[in-house]
Structure formats: C-alpha cells, structure tokens
Amino acid sequence: MRKLTTDELNRIDANEYKQAAKNPVFIVLDNIRSLNNIGSIFRTADAFRIEGIYLCGITACPPHREIQKTALGATESVDWKYFEDIEEAIAELKKNSYKILAAEQTDHSTKLNHFIPEKDQKYALVFGNEINGVCPFVVEYADACIEIPQYGTKHSFNVTVSAGIILWDILFKMNTLQ
C-alpha cells in the first residue's frame, strides 16, 4: 500500500466542477457564527459535489479570509446564495420541490440510521447555530428532523462533523457515492 500522489487523485478544477452533474442536495446554514465552520462545510459540499449552499442570517459569506482558510478554494467551486431570512430560503427550496430535513434533536426526529431517502427526491439539509441549533421556524416547517445517534455525555457534534456524517449517509443511501 502507498499513498496516492496528487496527480493520481484525478481532481477536477473549479470550472469542471461547475459543469459536472451534482447530487440533488442543498445545504442550508442557519445563523452559523464560526467562519471556520462555514469554510469547512464548503469544502465538504465540494467533496460530495452537492448542488449548493444557502447562507442565512448571521452566516458570513465569501470571500472572507477566515472562511477561505478551511474552504481551501471550495467557495469558488460550490454555488452559494445569501438570504437574510431563512424563511425565504426555505420557501425557494420548497417551491423547487426540495424536501427540507433539519438536523436537530426533537420529540419526533428520525435517527439517521433509520432515515431512508426517497428515490429521485431532492433534499435540503438545514444545519443550525452552534449554540441554539436550528431555528423553531425550520423545525416546524421541515418535512422531517433527523438526528445522529449519540452515546456519550455531550449529545452534540460540531456542525461541520454533523454535516459530513449526514451528507455521507444520505448520499450513500441514495446510491450516489461510488
């Protein structure tokens, strides 16, 4: 076994990424305060070739030096749009037939390991503020709330970890990962 070289990874450039087919998933960031978290989620979105990211509320927008530190150029490849109010973002996604999934612990949330995506369905995954989580509006209007099973004392992951776990799981179940 040996580590692959950069050339052997067959990475595409930002222009090729823009033209490539995307997985039918949007990420919605609801009042994310950490610029490093925002950048990391851009990088994860690029890795999974999702359709785009909606930045809402206090979530900062590119270009920003602190976002770029962790995004490593993904702000150039992943499409994004800013909404002052998350209600507008959710309305646009619902109008375009996306099912809204809030990553939140609720009295009726579905454990991620029990969530089965519908065939040919588009999804928008909403990730909330690092302290307060997803806003009550989204929890109320979401098609479902999903939660990652956890067994320690904290019962919370960093938002970037949650995004990576949930994206991988849903895309794997949708058979888009090869």
Query: Does a structural domain hold residue 9?
Result: no
Count of domains in the chain?
Answer: 1
pLDDT at 114: 98
By C-alpha distance, which of 83, 121, 84, 127 is closest to 102? Answer: 127
Beta bridge partners of 147: 111
User: CA–CA separation, 139 vs 14, rounded Å?
Assistant: 34
Q: What is the CATH number of the domain that holds 81?
A: 3.40.1280.10
Q: Which two tokens stand for residue 77?
A: 């490849």
| Mean pLDDT for back-to-back runs of 10 residues, the chain (178 residues) | 93 93 97 98 98 98 97 97 98 98 98 96 98 97 97 94 98 86
DSSP 127: E
Query: Does a structural domain hold residue 14?
Result: no
Query: Does a structural domain hold residue 86?
Result: yes
| Domain hosting residue 133, numbered range | 21-173
pLDDT at 155: 87
Query: Does a structural domain hold residue 161?
Result: yes
pTM for the whole structure: 0.96
CA angle 59, 29, 19 (to 5 degrees): 105
Query: Does a structural domain hold residue 1?
Result: no
pLDDT at 178: 61
Query: Does a structural domain hold residue 127?
Result: yes
pLDDT at 177: 74
Beta bridge partners of 50: 23
pLDDT at 176: 79
